[in-house]
Chains A and B, each alone.
Chain A
Amino acid sequence: MSSIVFFLEEESAKAFLEKFIPRILPENHEYYYIAFEGKQDMEKQLPRKLRNWLKSDTLFVILRDQDRGNCYDIKQNLKEICKKAGKPSSLVRIACRELESWYLGDLAAVGRVYGINNIARQQNKKKFRKPDILQNPDIELKKLTNKRYQKVSGSRLLGSELAISGNKSYSFNIFLIGIERLQL
């Protein structure tokens, strides 16, 4: 039995994955979701957490938001941390620009969670066709839900609802491919 450890930037990512991952990965593994307190805390703590992880047969997934940074640089930097900590095969994924972009990639799910009819139609609008390039996805999501979207509770709800296929977010699909390819 392998263990899969998710190192995450904050609580909302944990809330999302705790609901989402059991829908795509088999039950017979041990899952750990470890949330840090923001990016800086994550960068500071990650080396020690990776280096001293005791359980053998463990796969690591590191997920971070892109935010204002360059996503290739962020990814390289995290990969470097993994390599230095002796865990070079860790999977590093970046949410572009942030988790909310993934949610905007499936407006039908947002509609189901917040009881908004016809919202799915907006998916074909220019800005929701490629949610990864939206500058402020969380503001867009708040607008769409009339401010009802809250980071942690919203992520938890959407973790159960987001469709596995057909999401318009490129970074979400790359994350999904990475997860599906994990050598469990």
Chain B
Amino acid sequence: MRIEEIRLQNYKCYKELKVTNIPAMAVFVGANGTGKSTLFDVFGFLKHCLTFNITKAVQSRGGFKELVSRGCIGQSIIIEIKFRLSITGVERLVTYLLEIAEKDKSVIVKREILRYKRGAHGSPYHFLDYQAGKGYAITNEEDFSKQEEELTKEYRELEADDILAIKGLGQFQKFKAANAFRNMIENWHLSDFHINKARGTKDAAGYDEHLSVSGDNLQLVANNLFQNYEEIFSKIIEKMKQRVPGISSIKPETTVDGRLLLKFQDGSFQDPFIDKYVSDGTIKMFAYLVMLFDPQPHPLLCVEEPENQLYPHLLMELAEEFRLYSLNGDQVFVSTHSPDFLNAMRLEEVFWLEKKNGFTIVKRANDDPQISAYMKDGDLMGYLWKQGFLGRVHP
């Protein structure tokens, strides 16, 4: 499954946003405060809606008046995501649309739709259509070739008008598109790594398969790889040896008081040292490798500024690894300020954010003929970005 298009309306700094032709690996650049994190948080918001309800998701973002674009009070917020998905062997372009509005001081799902075309022609068919808690879903999607009347609609009322229909229906395999979309949103991952949270000893009790947002469970995830995925763990150590001078091995170790710590071995010394004394960059590179070689990769991985603390020369290869992660049928979005990281990117992978009349728009590097002309002649995206070709402050 791959997201191909994102459309936002009245969502924070995005009054009207349409990003099209999104590839499996997409990199977003833009000045501070243009809304890179807000763009990624659309998925966080949807996950929040799915786990709890709209009311909670909106409240934790400061309420409807903070979430809706400035000057747009009284209007709805629309999130529309188009994704490619294979349904019973046929590739479909599915659209998920969510419209949120304020009604009598509470927030409701004004409209929720899942639609896709049944054939090469004709208009898209609504396989799920809910309004304020009432609506239907098609239960026999696999019979996509049947005439409309033969598809079975299941009408159902949700418990409340601030609950997503895909929350309940998405649990069932028979609702193919809803199930896949729900799965993607539930398992998307944001990486906003914080070194200080990752360091130190952690309670050894417990078991974590995935690295957390801040990386504070690095020891547990590394231990899981060390215990259960020997091959992956040794691949990570090999890469660490290549990239960090002096590192010869890393081992998770349980202390006598039942805590877990990482021990780094420097080839020149006999005794290993604990992660407390390892450089920020070393910890971070290790954490990224642990994340990237996850035996169960996330369907959508968003990474904020991976360049922080890392040696510039390591960024090109790290960028390639992000791309490889996306090749496993998954998708990776990265925000960056690093020309070195960008230099590893292809023309069609780069997007930039720009403020226009107070609201943010997103542009594709590929749509810019000047950037394309330079790239065809061997230029690099990082250079072009630094030279000011991506987005213009000038008129």
List A residues at the B interface (Cβ < 8 Å).
30-37, 45, 48-49, 51-55
Q: A48 contacts B374, CB within 8 Å?
A: yes
B370: min CB distance to chain A, Å: 5
A32 to B388 Cα, complex, angstroms:
9
Partner of A52, one of B374, B383, B387: B374
The answer to whether A34 and B394 touch (CB under 8 A), given A48-B378, A52-B373, is no
Partner of A54, one of B369, B383, B392: B369
Q: A48 contacts B388, CB within 8 Å?
A: no
| 21 CB-based A-B contacts, threshold 8 Å | A30-B394, A30-B395, A31-B394, A32-B388, A33-B394, A34-B388, A35-B388, A36-B387, A45-B379, A45-B383, A48-B374, A48-B377, A48-B379, A49-B374, A49-B387, A51-B377, A52-B370, A52-B374, A52-B377, A53-B370, A54-B373
Find chain B residues with CB under 8 A from A52 CB. Answer: 370, 373-374, 376-377
Q: A54 contacts B377, CB within 8 Å?
A: no
Q: B387 contacts A34, CB within 8 Å?
A: yes
A49 to B370 Cα, complex, angstroms:
10
Number of interface residues of B (CB under 8 A): 16
Q: How many A-B residue pairs have CB under 8 A?
A: 35
Q: A54 contacts B370, CB within 8 Å?
A: yes
Interface check B386, CB cutoff 8 A: yes
Nearest B residue (CB) for A7: B387
List B residues at the A interface (Cβ < 8 Å).
369-370, 373-374, 376-379, 383, 386-389, 392, 394-395
A52 to B369 Cα, complex, angstroms:
10
A37 to B395 Cα, complex, angstroms:
24
A35 to B339 Cα, complex, angstroms:
14
Nearest A residue (CB) for B395: A30
A45 to B383 Cα, complex, angstroms:
9
Nearest A residue (CB) for B383: A45
Find chain A residues with CB under 8 A from B392 CB. Answer: 32
Find chain B residues with CB under 8 A from A30 CB. Answer: 394-395
The answer to whether A33 and B388 touch (CB under 8 A), given A48-B374, A52-B377, is yes
A32 to B392 Cα, complex, angstroms:
9
Nearest B residue (CB) for A11: B386
Find chain A residues with CB under 8 A from B373 CB. Answer: 52, 54
A31 to B395 Cα, complex, angstroms:
8
A30 to B395 Cα, complex, angstroms:
7
A45 to B395 Cα, complex, angstroms:
24
A51: min CB distance to chain B, Å: 7
Nearest B residue (CB) for A49: B374
A52 to B378 Cα, complex, angstroms:
11
A99 to B376 Cα, complex, angstroms:
34
Nearest A residue (CB) for B339: A37
Nearest B residue (CB) for A41: B383
Find chain B residues with CB under 8 A from A53 CB. Answer: 370
A33: min CB distance to chain B, Å: 7
Find chain B residues with CB under 8 A from A33 CB. Answer: 388, 394
Nearest A residue (CB) for B394: A31
Q: B374 contacts A32, CB within 8 Å?
A: no
Nearest A residue (CB) for B376: A52
Find chain A residues with CB under 8 A from B379 CB. Answer: 45, 48
